Copies of this chain bind each other. A is one copy, B any other.
């Protein structure tokens, strides 16, 4: 295919017999310009189908009006929602967005950062990969004074703004709900233990237990690597625990869905035989049978808030000091957790 030649200011200038600077001024609606020349230029530009070359513009003003986003994976509904929120706000504020996915790989995350920095993004919104347990690449961004912020999958020590959900409170709510429904032996299925959300949700779990005077039982805290195999293994393991736990709280919905499916195959009834709850409120949570009790975390809102704050900082509307924005989650009670109530 031939390379589409773009109309430039130079061509407009030549056609109208004016200088390039005059065209530039006219297109910026500069006041110090004869109204008539301005009108002519704007008209010609439209007629010739002129589009500014953002590359040249960015190079000149050394601001690309572009933001970079890194998420673990774009096919996750939650992260897709975040991205959607980010884009909506960014676009209305005149920014473009470049999205990268780390595929949960640290190496990929580093590569993404390089690319985006090279692309001269004005700022970055990063959600860390599952693998990320070393943080030099982030400190390097910090040292280079590149604007960025962490959301959802954050690392607490890095001195930049962070947007998170109140994971502790969300987990607390759902475990409290299980306790209130009469369960006492409650399993927590954790993801990899160095994950931020694994830790935070465990904290909420423990807090609820202690509030109800239930002693922590380490044999009821299980870990999955979040693969299908890992999840199924946990599902089977739980059934083998004696005496059988009354309820299970899985760190994220996908785990709960795998567990639920596996149990149904084994003839276990939910919630009659055992109660189940997840976290995230994925679209699947509402449609599995029985519908899954979970904790909803609005990704779209998170994206909007995160990018708003970053842009505020970029535009000088907010202080440069890092802040922590914590969003609230909502308990969504569905059938999967109605253990004792369903026995009546």
Distance in Å: Cβ of A5 to nearest Cβ of chain B: 8
Query: Known contacts A74-B74, A287-B287; is A1 also within 8 Å of B261 by CB?
Result: no
Q: How distant is the Cα of A99 from the Cα of B98 in the complex, in angstroms?
A: 7
Q: How distant is the Cα of A209 from the Cα of B147 in the complex, in angstroms?
A: 60
Find chain B residues with CB under 8 A from A164 CB. Answer: none
A84 pairs with B73, CB closer than 8 A? yes
B288 pairs with A1, CB closer than 8 A? no
Q: How distant is the Cα of A86 from the Cα of B188 in the complex, in angstroms?
A: 37
Find chain B residues with CB under 8 A from A66 CB. Answer: 119
CB of A53 within 8 Å of the partner chain: yes
Find chain B residues with CB under 8 A from A51 CB. Answer: 114, 117-118
Query: Known contacts A75-B77, A84-B73, A287-B257; is A59 also within 8 Å of B59 by CB?
Result: yes
Query: Known contacts A51-B114, A287-B287; is A96 also within 8 Å of B119 by CB?
Result: yes
Q: Which of A282-327 contact B (CB under 8 A)?
A: 283-284, 287-289, 313-314, 320
Interface size, chain A (Cβ < 8 Å)? 54
Stoichiometry (number of copies): 2
Name the residue on B nearest A78 (C-beta).
B75
A97 pairs with B99, CB closer than 8 A? yes
Q: How distant is the Cα of A331 from the Cα of B146 in the complex, in angstroms?
A: 49
8 closest cross-chain pairs (CB), A and B: A289-B289, A4-B145, A4-B146, A75-B80, A4-B144, A1-B320, A54-B118, A287-B288
- The interface of chain A, by Cβ under 8 A from chain B, is 1-6, 49, 51-56, 58-59, 62, 64, 66, 73-75, 77, 80-81, 83-84, 87, 96-101, 114-115, 117-120, 140, 144-147, 257, 261, 283-284, 287-289, 313-314, 320
Given contacts A51-B114, A51-B118, A55-B59, list 18 more A-B pairs with CB under 8 A. A1-B320, A2-B145, A3-B145, A4-B147, A5-B145, A52-B118, A54-B119, A55-B55, A55-B119, A55-B120, A66-B119, A74-B83, A75-B80, A96-B119, A97-B99, A257-B287, A287-B287, A287-B288
